[in-house]
Every structure is written in C-alpha cells, then in structure tokens.
C-alpha cells in the first residue's frame, strides 16, 4: 500500500472505546498511533535510537507535531500508517506520516513531526550527523507531496 519512498510503519484497528460522543475515533487517540509509528520509522530507516547517542552524541527531540484530520474512522476500521521524510534541515527534519484505511485506501489523517537533533551534554540543538542525513535522504519525499 505505501507509495514509493514511504515505509509501512504500523497497522491498527479502531475499537469502540476510541469513539467519542459523535460515534467516531476521538482526536486524542490519533496521537498515540502516530507516536508509536514514529519510533518504527527510525528503525525502518536504519537509525536505531539507542545507537544514535553512542555513535553521534546526539538524539532527537520533538519540536512540533501537526495532525490533519481528513476523514472519520469508526469502530472496526482497519488502518495502516506509512511514513517518509518530508524535509531535511541542518539541525532538524520533518517526518510525514499518513493514516490510511486498509480497505478503501483513503487517507484519514496526516501527521507532520519536526524533530531537532539535540546534544544532551550542552542541552542545545546540534548539527545533523552526515551519516544520518544520508539515511534520511533515501526516503525524502518529492517537494510537491502533501
């Protein structure tokens, strides 16, 4: 299902306890699914978070997360989350994930996550390691992707 350059990260199902008073998945439940998927994205990119600090002296911190709600999901709906790299900067990157209905292929939500490289000793942002940049570049989306 994922398009070229995108990696499948997570599969899930909407349960009745995800519903709000309007009968669809409440916005509060999207965040945990996308957050879990972000950890899988690093793994799928070959960037083990535990090794990042040991090898490069940095790790990532989330600076901004934006969820766009496009279509409702209801109990019993199956979804897959895919992801790719939307932007690569000098000290940060933006990851883009999509929540897609398994049966219809419709995009139900998108999630853009900006991560900043962080040096825990100085407690400041740090330059992106070149080895990390190379891994990210292989999954960089075309500029026109939304």
pTM: 0.89
Give the pLDDT confidence score for residue 3 in this predicted structure. 60
Cβ atoms of 48 and 42 closer than 8 Å:
yes
pLDDT at 144 > cutoff 80:
no
Where do the domains of the chain lie, and which CATH numbers do they carry? Answer: 7-137 (3.10.129.10)
pLDDT at 50 > cutoff 90:
no
């Amino acid at each position: 299902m994922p398009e070229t350059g995108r990696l499948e990260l997570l599969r899930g199902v909407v349960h009745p306890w995800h519903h709000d008073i309007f009968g669809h998945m409440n916005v509060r439940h999207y965040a945990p699914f996308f957050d879990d998927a972000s950890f899988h994205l690093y793994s799928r990119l070959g960037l083990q978070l535990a090794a990042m600090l040991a090898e490069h002296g940095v790790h990532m911190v989330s600076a901004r997360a934006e969820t766009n709600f496009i279509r409702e999901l209801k109990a019993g709906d199956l979804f897959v989350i895919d992801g790719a790299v939307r932007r690569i900067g000098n000290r940060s990157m933006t990851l883009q994930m999509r929540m897609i209905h398994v049966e219809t292929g419709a995009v139900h939500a998108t999630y853009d996550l900006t991560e900043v490289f962080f040096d825990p000793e100085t407690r400041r942002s740090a330059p992106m390691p070149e080895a990390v940049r190379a891994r990210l570049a292989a999954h960089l989306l075309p500029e026109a992707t939304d």
